[in-house]
Amino acid sequence: MSELAVRAEKLDAADELAPLRSRFVLDDVDDAVYLDGNSLGALPANVPDRVADVVRRQWGELRIRSWEESGWWTAPERIGDRIAPLVGAAPGQIVVGDSTSVNVFKALVAAIRMADASRDELLVDATTFPTDGYIAESAARLTGRTLRAVTPAQVPSALSDRTAAVLLNHVDYRTGRLHDLPSLTAAIHASGALAVWDLCHSAGALPVGLDEHGVDLAVGCTYKYLNGGPGSPAYLYVREELQDRFDSPLPGWNSHAEPFGMSPSYAPAPGAPRGRVGTPDILSMLALEAALEVWDGVPVAAVRAKSLALTDFFLECVAAYTEPGRVESVTPEPHEERGSQVALRCADAGEVMKRLIDRKVIGDFRHPDVLRFGFTPLYVGFADAERAARVLGEVLG
């Protein structure tokens, strides 16, 4: 056994979060290493029985009575309050529902509507996940604003009295770079604009501090580090002080002050529910609620500490097991600039990832030359990191 493998065993033995692995359905029997939780989190072990109950009893037996008796109607806010502590938010500011894309649209248009009419420019992260850019372009056209794409580092110098809102990613989906949410939010506010953050690659992996840093609006998915399942509903955060001004571009009967009044005119509900639109997707929403129970008693700070230790160790193992120059890390080394994934540039990355998956090391590939390895501290251990790096070295060799 190599020195690194011995170290991995010792690190796993000392890991206070290691018992959490038993809360998930994993491929331990097949000896697979799952490092793709930054795309789709593993299945929490309590979810199948909960979904079965929702289908067989709540839907099958109670049927329409479940909207009240099973709490279906209040699920978007109730589950939002479960997510809130994971992103540093007080209760009553997050509503769950729709997709990330839909919530980005709601947040951006609402932010523009809250800004002064003279502010005619919208800034968007030039390195963003493509859909965020598409939505920003559409929001700009619909509201008569000009869209300008800048890197997060360029935001402070790009801000002006023309800026209405800025849409940024907390963690870059390709490289795993963590952007400075506190200082960027402060700069945006100093210019008089509103800050909208996409938390898809940070929620459940590291502290966010939405309330602490005065973020105006935020969105995120729940199927990555929150392990909500494929296509699980996204969430929308609206800072409490802005909720009475939040003017959704997608008003629906679910966000009406009197949803069953069936009024022909719209009057928004107070608080976070005005971020709702139509009938909630109950099956996936309640699967998410069950999945979030794995977080009971788990401090986000401990998750962050393990994430950094895992990615440090993985990078050390990659350096030891691969020939110099064969791969290049594009994930920043400083902890304050790193999310919870490692991205390696490799000339034949697509083929390399296929061969890794054949060897039961599951990561993913991003065009044109990036291998991505996501480290979910709730169920990934140091032996997983060592084995993944060792197999990578063998595949490249």
Catalytic residues: 129, 198, 223-224, 372
Structure tokens at 383: 């032996």
Q: What whole-number distance in Å separates Cα of residue 211 and Cα of residue 195?
A: 12
- Neighbour-count burial of 148, counting CB atoms closer than 10 A to its CB (0-12 exposed, 13-18 middle, 19+ buried): middle
Q: What whole-number distance in Å separates Cα of residue 112 and Cα of residue 121?
A: 9
Q: In 3-state terms, what secondary structure has residue 237?
A: strand
In residues, how long is the chain? 397
Do residues 127 and 176 touch, judged by C-beta distance below 8 A?
Answer: no
Q: What backbone phi and psi angles, to 5 degrees, belong to 142?
A: -65, -30
Residue 294 falls in which region: left (phi positive, over 0), alpha (psi -120 to 50) or beta: alpha
What is the DSSP track for 90-150? -TTSEEE-S-HHHHHHHHHHHHHHHS-TT--EEEEETTS-HHHHHHHHHHHHHHTPEEEEE
Which residue's entry shows tokens 């795309």? Answer: 39
Q: What whole-number distance in Å separates Cα of residue 247 and Cα of residue 115?
A: 11
What is the DSSP track for 363-381? -EEETTTEEEEE--TTT--
- Name the E strands within the chain: 24-25, 33-34, 43-44, 94-96, 121-125, 146-150, 163-169, 194-198, 217-220, 235-238, 328-329, 341-345, 361-362, 364-366, 370-374
Q: What backbone phi and psi angles, to 5 degrees, belong to 331?
A: -90, 130
Q: What backbone phi and psi angles, to 5 degrees, belong to 40?
A: -150, 115
